Amino acid sequence: MATPSVAAPLTTAQAIDQPEEIEVHARQWVWEFYYPQQGITSTELHLPNNTRVKLALTSEDVLHGFFVPAFRVKQDVVPGRRIDFEFTPIREGTYRLRDSQYSGTYFGAMQANVVVESPQDYQAWLSQVAALPPQPGLNPSYAEFTAKGGNQDRHGWKTVEPAPAPLVNFPGAES
């Protein structure tokens, strides 16, 4: 039985074209996306529709899992290694990226929006965001951690402090 997806495998013709490359940095418990050609950073992943993308996945701390259920794509992100992951998004919309590997206390909060848009809207977003100054990005786990009084002993255990919110040009939006 076939399962519909919003990402397509590579074809021979696509393999010749150079993909849009985006660096994906995972750390407890936030996703950070860096667009090297434009020099911008975001906590929301924007992708051009019907364009092959190459994600350079890295982890700063523990094993994470890059998982977008609607795309039917999943890739482990291993500390100390760069893993290149390519696919072509084929349907515009906003989707949810989740961490599929248990990575500690707040791993359930390690989510981000994935916005697939027309190539024209994608280029407009890149231009708009490139003009924005860096600001703290979304990191719900850090906000929850500090709201609960930090790393206080709770019933005999403590947790790892989440990474602080990254400085990004586009902080993204919660959903």
Q: Which mean pLDDT values do the consecutive 10-residue runs of the chain (175 residues) have?
A: 55 68 94 96 97 97 96 95 97 97 85 97 97 83 66 57 76 65
> What is residue 157's predicted lDDT score, i.e. its pLDDT?
52
Q: Buried b / exposed e across 24-47, counting CB within 10 Å, b at 16+?
A: bbbbbbbbbbbbeeeebbbbbbbb
> What is residue 67's predicted lDDT score, i.e. its pLDDT?
97
All domains of the chain, ordered by start, with CATH?
A: 18-151+158-168 (2.60.40.420)
> What is residue 111's predicted lDDT score, i.e. its pLDDT?
93
Nearest-angstrom CA–CA distance, 83 and 74? 12
> What is residue 9's predicted lDDT score, i.e. its pLDDT?
56
> What is residue 17's predicted lDDT score, i.e. its pLDDT?
78
Give the tokens for residue 8: 């397509």
> What is residue 7's predicted lDDT score, i.e. its pLDDT?
64
> What is residue 83's predicted lDDT score, i.e. its pLDDT?
98
3-state secondary structure of 122: helix
